[in-house]
Amino acid sequence: MTIQNDTAAVVEYIDTQSGGNLRKKNDLATLLELAAQQGNADVIARLAFDGTSLWNVFGILRKQTPQSEGYKQLEAEFASSLASFREGIASLMENADEGVLLRFHDIYLALGGGVIRNLTDLAHDFAKFKELQNTLRRGT
């Protein structure tokens, strides 16, 4: 899939503003490009929201033990955020070419141990995107 210059510039800007620590930069670019091609900014807003939620819950959950108060609720929120984030990704795959579809299926949509880690890494990048959006809105 060809990433247009404007999409690449947006991803580079996000990466620069995040201190160069995007984890799934190429996949972020692919999703942004697919959304741009489909004229579907709403799904990117949804992915930014869901990704931020997933990343934040993941960060809290990592610091807890199964015996911690509220752990089950955190697990449920993590599962819900994960499912919603995956749905957003899947919705962009409906019009993707076969190579992109297969790659994203294997990395983000299949059921497997590494998929959750990949999703949380991509959620991190969308959380950085959302953080930058909020910073620019506030003008700080």
Reported as a single tens digit per residue, the pLDDT across 59-89 is: 999 999 999 999 999 999 999 999 999 999 9
pLDDT the model gives residue 95: 87
pLDDT the model gives residue 129: 97
- How far apart, in Å, are the Cα atoms of 135 and each of 11, 55, 123? 16, 18, 18
Residue ranges of domains in the chain? 5-138
The pLDDT mean for the chain works out to: 95
From the list 58, 107, 113, the residue with the least C-alpha distance to 82 is: 58
Q: What is the pTM of this model?
A: 0.93
Is pLDDT of 1 > 90?
no
CA distance 45 to 37: 15
Percentage of the chain surpassing pLDDT 70? 99
Q: Could you give the 3-state DSSP secondary structure of residue 96?
A: coil
Contact 43, 92 (CB under 8 A): yes
